[in-house]
Each structure stands twice: as C-alpha cells, then as structure tokens.
C-alpha cells in the first residue's frame, strides 16, 4: 500500500483555508496534520501506485490549493510496479511538473 507524505500549500485567506481543510478531512485516503501558516502536512494511503498518483492530481484540483510538494513515498510493499507509472502528475494550470508519487 503506497503511503505518500505531502505538503499542501494553500491560497491566502481564511475562507479558502477552511474550505480546503474541510475537503481534505472528508477523504478517507487522506490524513491531515496541523497547518503551519499556508502549509498543511498530508499523508495519503492508497491500495495502488496509480491511485496514489490520482489522489495527488485530485489535491491539485481543489480550489484554494496552490501546489503540492511530494516529501516522500513508501511503496516498499508494492510487488508489481508498472513501468512508466511515476512522473505523470502535472500542474493543473499548464502541465508543469510538480513531482509525482
């Protein structure tokens, strides 16, 4: 089960922050840490590498999320790693690489 440690950077503003934190808290694949300023530590747990990448993509689509930093990924218990699975996570606003689980 891939486990990813991420830092989600939020847009400024309390309303946007509350909205993003609410959305994150509703996703059972996501554990949310204590925010420090505009940055929120997040851990995701998914059954597959593909879903891990999908979660990161979905985080980038949440209104109020500026970007997502991938801190670490543990997929040591994944037996079959499909070729070409890493590196497909892209920025929502133009395809710039952000880092991918």
State pLDDT tens for residues 45-91.
999 888 999 999 999 999 999 999 999 988 777 666 555 555 444 44
Contact criterion met (CB below 8 Å) for 17 and 34: no
Question: d(Cα 38, Cα 46) in Å, to the nearest integer?
Answer: 25
**HSE (CB half, 13 Å, CA atoms) of 36?**
4
Edge-to-edge strand ranges of the sheet holding 3-10: 30-32, 39-45, 3-10, 65-74
Find out if CATH 3.30.70.260 is the number for domain 3-74: yes
Q: What is the pTM of this model?
A: 0.74
Span 1-53, pLDDT tens digits: 889 999 999 998 888 899 999 999 999 999 999 999 999 999 999 998 889 99
* List of residues 6+ apart from 19 with CB closer than 8 A: 63, 64
């Amino acid at each position: 089960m891939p486990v990813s440690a991420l830092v989600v950077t939020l847009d400024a503003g309390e309303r946007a922050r509350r909205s993003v934190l609410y959305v994150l808290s509703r996703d059972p694949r996501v554990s949310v840490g204590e925010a420090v300023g505009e940055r929120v530590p997040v851990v995701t747990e998914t059954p597959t590498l593909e879903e891990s990448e999908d979660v990161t993509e979905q985080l980038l689509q949440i209104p109020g999320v500026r970007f997502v930093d991938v801190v670490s990924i543990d997929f040591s218990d994944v037996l079959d790693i499909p070729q070409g699975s890493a590196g497909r996570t892209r920025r929502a606003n133009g395809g710039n690489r952000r880092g991918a689980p």
